[in-house]
Amino acid sequence: MTEPKEPDFCLRRLRRAVPLALMLPVGVLAAPSPHLEEVVVTAQRQAVPTLATPLSIGRVGVADIDLVGATHSSEVLNRIPGAMVQRGSGQESLTAIRSPVLTGAGSCGAFLFLENGVPVRPVGFCNVNGMLEINTEQADAIEILRGTGTALYGSNAVHGTINVLQDEPEALPDLELGMGAGEDAYGRVTVAAARAGAGVDAGLRAFYAHDGGWRDASGYDEEKLNATIVVSDDPDTASPRK
């Protein structure tokens, strides 16, 4: 009488399954890992002479900004070779830096506008009126990097970069008021103030302007405000007020 062979069949099937089960983790571990792109970022936080910088940079200082007393950013920016800013209605502008005058969506991502080295708008939220909200009227200096600067500043700097520099509180007066007037019912008021505390310096600059416009529907009212707070870890080494 022969015995059933089911146990032997099950054993052979189990022996075949065990090597297969042992091979599965090996195959998973042997899968190549995805390659991660290496990104290297370099920077320095110190003044570098323009002649020692391998870039094409133009600069307008505070003396020229105060002398011009611009009612539009183009009046200052166009003093730098290689830059041409066209003025539209109100404070609208069309920028060209070693490039054609780009308008509409064509200018999106072509120029990068910074204030103290920080972009005023994120990538993708760009407009030809990128200088609209920057306080160029009370700036300490304006720098223009002519040509591509995407490797240093970001993806928006395809044709050029404009960086508006504002004073730290220690360089501001305790209190300063200014007024100006011009044709086409133009008028403006400026305020600058600073205060030093125990390890904390605070500075404020405010600007208001009204322009009746040189043609119909070209007038505007604008307000700008810059506030800065500098905190020192050691109150004894806080920057003295100037």
- Note the pLDDT tens digit of each residue in 4-19: 555 554 545 545 544 5
Structure confidence at residue 34 (pLDDT): 67
Domain that holds residue 178: 169-237
Mean pLDDT of the chain: 80
Please indicate, yes or no, if residue 124 is contained in any of the structural domains: yes
Calculate mean pLDDT across residues 160-164. 92
Q: Quick one: 231 and 200 in the same domain?
A: yes
> Domain with 184 in it: what CATH number?
2.20.130
Q: Quick one: 156 and 54 in the same domain?
A: yes
Kindly report which listed range (35-49, 156-170, 177-191, 220-234) carries the lowest average pLDDT score.
35-49
Question: How many domains is the chain built from?
Answer: 2
| CA pair distance 126, 147, nearest whole angstrom | 18
Q: Quick one: 86 and 183 in the same domain?
A: no
pTM of the model: 0.74
Structure confidence at residue 242 (pLDDT): 44
Q: What angle do CA 133, 242, 139 make, to 5 degrees?
A: 20
Q: Which residue has the higher pLDDT, 163 or 197?
A: 163
Structure confidence at residue 50 (pLDDT): 67
Q: Quick one: 140 and 65 in the same domain?
A: yes
Calculate mean pLDDT across residues 154-168. 88
| CA pair distance 19, 59, nearest whole angstrom | 73
Residue 21 has pLDDT above 60, yes or no: no
Structure confidence at residue 65 (pLDDT): 95
Beta partners for residue 95, in sequence order: 85
Return the exposure string of 129-165: e unless at least 16 CB atoms fall within 10 Å of the residue's CB, then b: bbbbebbbbbbbbbbbbbbebeeebeebbbbbbbbbb
Structure confidence at residue 60 (pLDDT): 94
Boundary (domain end) residue, out of 135, 165, 195? 165
3-state secondary structure of 1: coil
Q: Quick one: 230 and 153 in the same domain?
A: no
Q: Quick one: 65 and 93 in the same domain?
A: yes
Residue 184 has pLDDT above 60, yes or no: yes
Structure confidence at residue 158 (pLDDT): 85
Structure confidence at residue 88 (pLDDT): 81
Kindly report which listed range (152-156, 162-166, 225-229) carries the lowest average pLDDT score.
152-156
Q: Quick one: 222 and 194 in the same domain?
A: yes
Calculate mean pLDDT across residues 140-152. 86
For 66-94, write each residue's pLDDT tens digit: 999 999 999 999 999 999 998 888 888 88
Please indicate, yes or no, if residue 3 is contained in any of the structural domains: no
Q: Quick one: 94 and 67 in the same domain?
A: yes
Residue 240 has pLDDT above 60, yes or no: no
Taking the C-alpha atoms of 58, 56, 86 and 79 in order, what is their torsion angle to the nearest 10 degrees? Answer: 30
Kindly report which listed range (21-25, 170-174, 177-181) carries the lowest average pLDDT score.
21-25
3-state secondary structure of 106: helix
Structure confidence at residue 188 (pLDDT): 96
Structure confidence at residue 193 (pLDDT): 96
Please indicate, yes or no, if residue 7 is contained in any of the structural domains: no
Structure confidence at residue 84 (pLDDT): 92
